[in-house]
Chain A
Amino acid sequence: MALEAPAASGVAGRAKATRVVASHISVPRRVAEIWRSRQLLINLVSTEIRVKYKNSILGLVWSLLAPAMALLVYAIVFGVALKNGYPEFVILLFSGLLAWNLFQTSVLAATGAIVNNAGLVKKVSFPREILALASVGSASVFFFFQACVMVIFLVALHWRPAFGELWLIPVALVPLLVLCSAMAIFLSAVNVYLRDIQHLTEVVVGSAWFWACPIVYSFAHIVEPKLSTHHILGIPLIWIYFLNPMVPIVLTFERVLYAKTGLVPLTTAGHTPTQLLPTWGSMTYVELDAIVLGVSLIFLYVAMVVFGRLAGNFAEEL
């Protein structure tokens, strides 16, 4: 560096950004700082991927084992043992799991992100949100690997997804990533103060929330007929089911990848053809995902505000 003329000749003249350290920094300002630190985000994600996969292809295979096992178990339990009779059930399962795994991996990893990086948080200054976002980032990379496996599955099983509706995937992916980021930022901050949030998240996101999504069962076959006839305080139960923001996202993935929107003949004998996916048109999915996006954006803003309030004391709480 000393050999470079501009650097050696002085720093007085160059343009300088002003940075303020205060107890409250507005959300737009923090967003700007996160944007400025995007290189750090990329590096943290690649570090996490590198460390996890130990720079090897085999490491990648290992990391795919857990979701593969989940897929296998659900396929055997529901498809074989309980004989739900859905044709190519594994495709329906995989399309839902694909979206779900992105959500679960990022939220679970992000909850501990600040606490696990205490050394960094105490000694180096950078927008702390980056740590939570890095968890979402590495979960996204992981999502990409699983999507590649999904493609192999589709080809191997000669399954034809709805190519005409492929654009719905990004329509669902954007609200999903916003939702993940909001959850990640919120939980990572709260976990610093309430350490058992980690365990709570594992229980809630790890199981209860999963079963509240139409992944191992079909929405149109199981949920819709049962819940639309019941009411609580005059509200149809199906509405409450849709309070789960993951439902529209999972349904969109299934719509595109499983693609059987009509009546499907079940493989088990004695059953009449059944509706597995909703009969909605594409625009219904877009509308539902847009609602999720809107709600997630509000949640993201709230998460940023909460994070901002709590972040000031991270270094002393850890």
Chain B
Amino acid sequence: MGNIAVEIQDVSKRFRLYHQKYTSLKERVIHAGRTPYTELWALRDVGFEVEEGQTVGILGRNGSGKSTLLKCVCGVLQPTEGQVVVRGKLAGLLELGAGFQPDLTGRQNIYLNGSLLGLAKSDIDKVFDDVVAFAELDQFIDNQVKFYSSGMYVRLGFAVAVNVDPDVLVIDEVLAVGDERFQRKCLDRLKEFQNQGRTIIFVSHSPDQVRAICDQAVVLSDGRMVGHGAPGEAVRIFREHLLEAGDILALGHGDDEAAPADEVGPIAVSTTDSSHPIRITEVTVEHPGTGERPYLITGERLTISLQYSAASITTASFVVEIRDDLSKVLLRTESGDLGAPLEIASGTGTVSFQWATFPFLDGVYHVSAGVEHRAGGRLYDWKESAAKLEVMNPTKNVGLINLPVAVTLVPDR
């Protein structure tokens, strides 16, 4: 460890968006010097390092520069400023099956695609059977690729990419290919890659996937890096930025100055204002043992209370999410789905979620809470891992949950 596999050094990328693009000599001469365009910095001074063997997730909402950054890492785009240094062989999966030549057979395409990814023929000979087996295309490997179904196409693309033996694998939201079984196979292969000490950089819209796979994560917003750190922390920042975006979208006026993009501190001061009609001020966990012991005993009653402060009358739904240590969501409940009142009067108040029994066995659980608009999917506020819940399991049962069970024995006669 300690070796840097990918160094992204203050990378900026400027795009010029032309209102009208002139792409011929004639038009360029006619419109010489007055081609109107707006400049767009898709990336601005993004810099971080990835150690060998680490898996880094890149989070960001649409248009935040995720794909541009990956393209710069792969070398498809060259940064306007700064540079990317990659140590070792890099395989980029920006699009599955890019570079397949429809008129060639699957076999020939494996060789063509392999060499696009930088493999010598002898290397491809070695992995050829693995590629075919992984893609599950034994019968069709000598058919022309144009007769392949789209599923076969992407399977072959993924199979080639993961078999090229890269040091650094770059993946852009292509994990959602094929059926569930094939997806699992892809994830297994990624896990295998991690165990082999390979570096993975991947883009995802799904915070859960990032939490599950990554060692660290980077959050981009409007081309700037607004967060970099452990996945949990990065997800929190990502949610906050989603939040801000929601406000800007909904209000339609310039709130972006009030909330500079590089201000990434946690929402320490939860004040409501016109753009945040409702805030969650505190999340508390209560169980029968509160005050005596820090933990809850499996099967006990659980109450999670959210204190809110609303600036105006709003229609809102409260959300509680409980996750285990591996960030797997165990439970997500929305008050709006439960028939609870949605009209919130201005002022402060408390919303309580009560469970008669909490069946999960021992572990440390994280409680996140949020409040969102019912209709537009707009998130007003989100508190990632706002409270911790420790559970002690008094039974001898192992597993995830404890369910009341009756055991009877009736011998056959």
Report A's interface with B, CB cutoff 8 A: 1-2, 4, 7-12, 14, 16-23, 25, 36-37, 39-40, 42-44, 47, 50-51, 54, 119-126, 193-197, 200, 311-313, 315-317
Name B99's contact: one of A4, A20, A51, A123 (CB within 8 Å).
Answer: A123
Known A-B contacts A1-B130, A7-B196; the reply to A125 vs B75 at CB < 8 A is yes
In the complex, chain B residues 155-188 whose Cβ is within 8 Å of any chain A Cβ? 163, 165, 167
Is B79 interfacial (CB-CB < 8 Å)? yes
A-B contact count (CB 8 A): 141
A-B contact pairs, 11 of them (CB 8 A): A12-B52, A17-B89, A19-B75, A20-B83, A21-B83, A22-B79, A47-B101, A50-B108, A120-B99, A121-B76, A312-B78
Is B111 interfacial (CB-CB < 8 Å)? yes
Q: Which residue of B lies closest to A2 (CB)?
A: B192
Question: Once the chains bind, are B198 and A124 in contact (CB under 8 Å)?
Answer: no
- Range class of the B interface residue count: 35 or more
Q: Give, as a whole number of angstroms, the nearest-CB distance from B186 to chain A.
A: 14
Specify which chain B residues have a CB less than 8 angstroms from the CB of A123 in the assembled complex: 76, 94-95, 98-99
Question: Once the chains bind, are B79 and A23 in contact (CB under 8 Å)?
Answer: yes
Q: Give, as a whole number of angstroms, the nearest-CB distance from B163 to chain A.
A: 6
Question: Can you list the 4 inter-chain pairs with the closest CB atoms, starting with the nearest?
Answer: A312-B78, A22-B83, A123-B98, A16-B88
Report B's interface with A, CB cutoff 8 A: 3, 15, 23-26, 28, 52-53, 71-90, 92, 94-95, 98-99, 101, 103-104, 108, 111-112, 115-121, 126-127, 130, 163, 165, 167, 192, 196-198
Known A-B contacts A1-B130, A1-B163, A119-B98; the reply to A21 vs B75 at CB < 8 A is yes
Docked pose: A244 CA to B251 CA in angstroms: 66
Q: Which residue of B lies closest to A39 (CB)?
A: B115
Known A-B contacts A124-B98, A311-B78; the reply to A20 vs B23 at CB < 8 A is no
Question: Once the chains bind, are A194 and B76 in contact (CB under 8 Å)?
Answer: no
Specify which chain A residues have a CB less than 8 angstroms from the CB of B116 in the assembled complex: 40, 120, 124, 126
Question: Once the chains bind, are A47 and B104 in contact (CB under 8 Å)?
Answer: yes
Question: Once the chains bind, are A19 and B167 in contact (CB under 8 Å)?
Answer: no
Q: Which residue of A lies closest to B193 (CB)?
A: A11
Question: Once the chains bind, are B26 and A16 in contact (CB under 8 Å)?
Answer: no
Question: Once the chains bind, are A19 and B81 in contact (CB under 8 Å)?
Answer: no
Specify which chain B residues have a CB less than 8 angstroms from the CB of A126 in the assembled complex: 116, 118
Q: Give, as a whole number of angstroms, the nearest-CB distance from A46 to chain B.
A: 9
Q: Give, as a whole number of angstroms, the nearest-CB distance from A294 to chain B.
A: 30
Q: Which residue of A lies closest to B11 (CB)?
A: A21
Docked pose: A14 CA to B168 CA in angstroms: 13
Q: Which residue of B lies closest to A40 (CB)?
A: B115
Docked pose: A311 CA to B99 CA in angstroms: 18
Question: Once the chains bind, are B24 and A196 in contact (CB under 8 Å)?
Answer: yes
Question: Once the chains bind, are A19 and B90 in contact (CB under 8 Å)?
Answer: yes
Specify which chain A residues have a CB less than 8 angstroms from the CB of B118 in the assembled complex: 36-37, 40, 126
Specify which chain A residues have a CB less than 8 angstroms from the CB of B95 in the assembled complex: 123
Q: Which residue of B lies closest to A1 (CB)?
A: B130
Docked pose: A25 CA to B84 CA in angstroms: 12
Specify which chain B residues have a CB less than 8 angstroms from the CB of A11 in the assembled complex: 88, 165, 167, 196-198
Q: Give, as a whole number of angstroms, the nearest-CB distance from B112 to chain A.
A: 5
Q: Which residue of A lies closest to B123 (CB)?
A: A39
Name B111's contact: one of A1, A43, A124 (CB within 8 Å).
Answer: A43
Known A-B contacts A43-B115, A50-B108; the reply to A194 vs B28 at CB < 8 A is yes
Q: Give, as a whole number of angstroms, the nearest-CB distance from A140 to chain B.
A: 19
Known A-B contacts A39-B119, A196-B25; the reply to A19 vs B196 at CB < 8 A is no
Question: Once the chains bind, are A200 and B25 in contact (CB under 8 Å)?
Answer: yes
Specify which chain B residues have a CB less than 8 angstroms from the CB of A44 in the assembled complex: 112
Q: Give, as a whole number of angstroms, the nearest-CB distance from A12 to chain B.
A: 5
Docked pose: A317 CA to B115 CA in angstroms: 25
